[in-house]
């Protein structure tokens, strides 16, 4: 078992690399512990709450008790399936704000500014705006990843955007184009009614080539000889095997499993590795550190009018929607139902949005439990750039053990102020004229919850992860002691070993992380192949002219 490149993880970045490397004629073996992504639960967009809660498709990670959230353990789903988390996520497509990537470059990730990454976003996309406006010049038209928009038939989707405008915010036709700030349509990785995961976009086409294959196994450690990665030790059934890499080993196992695998291989904080009896190959204190995520609240309202998705929340309707989708790939089953969105700034003096909204025309939890009130709708809202940082560490030296995941959510005082602001700004949006035909009353937090202390108690009890963990193998300058990989994605201190997935983000980007994770795979492919990067783009993003003095 050997190939030019051995990739650990058939997730968002791993699939993209398998496609690009095999396209260039290199041989690729992808190691994936999870199983097939076939089947309606994964492929039907509207069924998104199922795979995320199925042991078969999800690693089932949980955080340690979070001290600032009443010691709750928060779910941290990661895809254990072909396609990785792109096969179980909410399919929301957000590139991130241009200034996010400019910050990466300032943090030492040279060559990762927005001008550098925009050409890769264009290369990976086939963008379909569905006649809803947008910025064609900023978008790609012939990439493997189809990006579309929902039909937005439900009047609540329009009400949300109209209410934002009435509250004085910008409207944007394409938050992935020149102007992220404002209210507008949301984009999804859905094509012809199917979830367009990284597996459907990249891996399945790559597997049709002779040069690419998947090995079902659990990666135990990277085999490093004389400072060079030469392969990966895997467990298949009760057998240990080594899969050898002629050129390089690439870890793309997620922001939870990538640092775990590095530490099991002897790359990480020396004292922590010694605690577990692991021989130190490279003392990199940054491995597992810098863990970041987005937290969000579901602000829910009961609806006066029975037009929400609650009318389909019964067995007969679900069966009908399922059957229509199965035979025609159309109807309610063909959208993730996140069809309107917004990005706004929390206060004056912030140059670009730091709050994200997902709007949903039903009041429901991520695990599929619907609000007791029946007909309702909700906005998922949360701050984008918390200063709180956590860590992924080893529980033991046994590769079969889950790592310890401590996000340290809400550990920065600014987090509390930001979340209270989120709730108050959201109430103001739902209080606009556009929602008066629909709003019956506030379900959650509830109109009585007003003071800072009351809001803080609600946040402590109800803040949920948006499932955007990243940052645990931070990219930075080669001489940065806290960096894990250099701007070429090479692990500092080990030859022929790279990490390319969301764990290398220096700082979390605005919005959902699937798009930037795939972009990392695209850009890393050119680095692995020794190609010159795509030519930089010169497009200047929109920035609110009064950002220094006005919140909207």
Residue 232, domain member (yes or no): yes
Evaluate whether residue 544 is within a structural domain. no
Q: Would you say how long the chain is, in residues?
A: 552
Question: Where are the extended beta strands (E) located within 267-339?
Answer: 267-268, 282-283, 295-303
Q: Where does 309-390 have alpha helices with state H?
A: 315-328
CA 389/CA 268 separation, integer angstroms:
17
157 touches 340 (CB < 8 A): yes
Q: What is the pLDDT of residue 481?
A: 97
Q: Are 42 and 89 in contact (CB under 8 A)?
A: no
Residue 53 and residue 474: Cα distance in Å, rounded?
29
Q: Across the chain, how many H-helices and E-strands are there?
A: 13, 25
Q: What is the CA radius of gyration of the chain?
A: 22
Q: What is the pLDDT of residue 447?
A: 97
How far apart (Å, rounded) are the C-alpha atoms in residues 38 and 57?
A: 11
Q: Which residues contact 290 (CB under 8 A, 6 or more apart)?
A: 389, 391, 471, 472, 474, 482, 506
Distance separating alpha carbons of residues 122 and 145, to the nearest angstrom:
10
Q: What's the CA gap between 65 and 440, in Å, rounded?
A: 36
Backbone angles phi, psi at 42, to 5 degrees: -85, -45
Q: List the CATH number of the domain containing 164.
A: 3.50.50.60
* Segment holding 378, helix H or strand E: strand 376-383
Annotated binding residue at 91?
Answer: yes
Residues 46 and 42: their CA atoms lie apart, in Å, by 9
pLDDT per residue, tens digit, the chain (552 aa), is 999 999 999 999 999 999 999 999 999 999 999 999 999 999 999 999 899 889 999 999 999 999 999 999 999 999 999 999 999 999 999 999 999 999 999 999 999 999 999 999 999 999 998 777 899 999 999 999 999 999 999 999 999 999 999 999 999 999 999 999 999 999 999 999 999 999 999 999 999 999 999 999 999 999 999 999 999 999 999 999 999 999 999 999 999 999 999 999 999 999 999 999 999 999 999 999 999 999 999 999 999 999 999 999 999 999 999 999 999 999 999 999 999 999 999 999 999 999 999 999 999 887 777 888 899 999 999 999 999 999 999 999 999 999 999 999 999 999 999 999 999 999 999 999 999 999 999 999 999 999 999 999 999 999 999 999 999 999 999 999 999 999 999 999 999 999 999 999 999 999 999 999 999 999 999 999 999 999 999 999 999 999 999 999
* Residue 538 counted as domain residue: no
Q: What is the 3-state secondary structure (H, E, C) of 163-215?
A: HHHHCCCCECCCCCCCCCCEEEECEECEECCEECCHHHHHHHHHHCCCCEEEE
**Residue 108 within any structural domain of the chain:** yes
Judge whether 89 is annotated as a binding position: yes
Determine if residue 81 is labeled as part of a ligand binding site.
Answer: yes
At 289 the pLDDT is 98
User: Rounded distance, CA 314 to CA 209, Å?
Assistant: 44
Residue 516 in any domain: the answer is yes
Domain that holds residue 192: 2-529
Would you say 123 and 522 are in contact if contact means Cβ atoms under 8 Å apart? Answer: yes
| Nearest partner of 509 among 13, 178, 103, judged by Cα | 103
- In degrees, rounded to 5, the angle at the alpha carbon of residue 263 between the alpha carbons of residues 257 and 265 is 105
Q: Which two tokens stand for residue 216?
A: 């079902």
**Strand, helix or coil at 2?**
strand
At 17 the three-state DSSP class reads helix
Number of domains the chain contains: 1
Active site residue 468: yes
Helix (H, G, I), strand (E, B) or coil at 455: helix
The CA distance from 336 to 152, in Å, is: 11
**Is 546 part of any domain?**
no
The catalytically annotated residue of 97, 103, 294, 468 is 468
Longest alpha-carbon distance in the chain: 70
Specify the pLDDT at position 165: 98
User: Nearest 5°: phi and psi at 93?
Assistant: -110, 110
Is 70 among the domain residues?
A: yes
Distance separating alpha carbons of residues 297 and 201, to the nearest angstrom: 31
Residue 47: φ, ψ to 5°: -90, 20
Q: The whole model's pTM is what?
A: 0.98
Does 545 reside within a domain? no
Place of tokens 């639960």: 41
């Amino acid at each position: 078992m050997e190939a030019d490149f051995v990739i650990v993880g058939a997730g968002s970045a791993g699939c993209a690399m398998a496609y690009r490397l095999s396209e260039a004629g290199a041989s690729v073996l992808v190691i994936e512990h999870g199983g097939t992504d076939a089947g309606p639960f994964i492929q039907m967009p509207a069924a998104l709450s199922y795979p995320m809660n199925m042991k078969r498709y999800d690693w089932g990670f949980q955080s340690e008790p979070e001290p600032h959230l009443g010691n709750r353990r928060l779910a941290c789903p990661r895809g254990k399936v072909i396609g990785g988390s792109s096969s179980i996520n909410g399919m929301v497509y957000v590139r991130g704000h241009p200034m996010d990537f400019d910050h990466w470059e300032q943090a030492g990730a040279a060559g990762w500014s927005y001008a550098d990454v925009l050409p890769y976003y264009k290369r990976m996309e086939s963008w379909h705006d569905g006649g809803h406006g947008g910025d064609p010049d900023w978008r790609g038209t012939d990439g493997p990843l189809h990006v579309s928009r929902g039909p937005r038939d439900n009047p609540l989707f329009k009400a949300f955007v109209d209410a934002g405008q009435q509250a004085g915010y910008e409207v944007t036709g394409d938050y992935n184009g020149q102007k992220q700030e404002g209210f507008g349509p949301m984009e999804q990785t859905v094509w012809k009614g199917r979830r367009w995961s990284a597996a459907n976009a990249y891996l399945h086409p790559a597997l049709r080539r002779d040069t690419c294959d998947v090995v079902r196994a659990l990666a135990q450690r990277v085999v490093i000889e004389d400072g060079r990665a030469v392969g990966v030790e895997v467990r298949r059934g009760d057998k240990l095997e080594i899969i050898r890499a002629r050129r390089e080993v690439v870890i793309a196992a997620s922001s939870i499993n990538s640092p775990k695998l590095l530490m099991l291989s002897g790359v990480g904080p020396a004292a922590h590795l010694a605690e577990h009896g692991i021989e130190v190959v490279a003392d990199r204190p940054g491995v597992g550190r810098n863990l970041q995520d987005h937290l969000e609240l579901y602000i829910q309202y009961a609806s006066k009018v029975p037009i929400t998705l609650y009318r389909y929340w019964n067995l007969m309707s679900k069966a009908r929607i399922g059957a229509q989708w199965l035979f025609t790939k159309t109807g309610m089953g063909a959208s993730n139902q996140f069809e309107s969105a917004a990005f706004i700034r929390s206060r004056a003096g912030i140059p670009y949005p730091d709050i994200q909204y997902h709007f949903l025309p039903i009041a429901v939890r991520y695990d599929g439990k619907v609000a007791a009130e029946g007909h309702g709708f909700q906005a998922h809202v949360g701050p984008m750039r918390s200063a709180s940082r956590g860590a992924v560490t080893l529980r033991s030296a046994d590769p079969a053990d889950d790592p310890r995941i401590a996000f340290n959510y809400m550990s920065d005082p600014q987090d509390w102020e930001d979340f209270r602001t989120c709730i108050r700004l959201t109430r103001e949006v739902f209080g606009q004229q556009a929602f008066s035909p629909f709003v019956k009353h506030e379900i959650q937090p509830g109109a009585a919850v007003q003071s800072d202390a009351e809001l803080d108690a609600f946040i402590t009890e109800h803040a949920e992860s948006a499932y955007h963990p990243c940052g645990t193998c931070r990219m930075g300058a080669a001489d940065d002691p806290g960096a894990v990989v250099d701007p070429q994605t090479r692990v500092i201190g080990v030859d022929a070993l790279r990490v390319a997935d969301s764990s290398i983000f220096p700082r979390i980007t605005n919005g959902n992380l699937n798009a930037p994770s795939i972009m990392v795979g695209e850009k890393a492919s050119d680095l692995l192949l020794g190609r010159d990067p795509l030519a930089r783009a010169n497009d200047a993003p929109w920035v609110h002219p009064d950002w220094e003095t006005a919140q909207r």
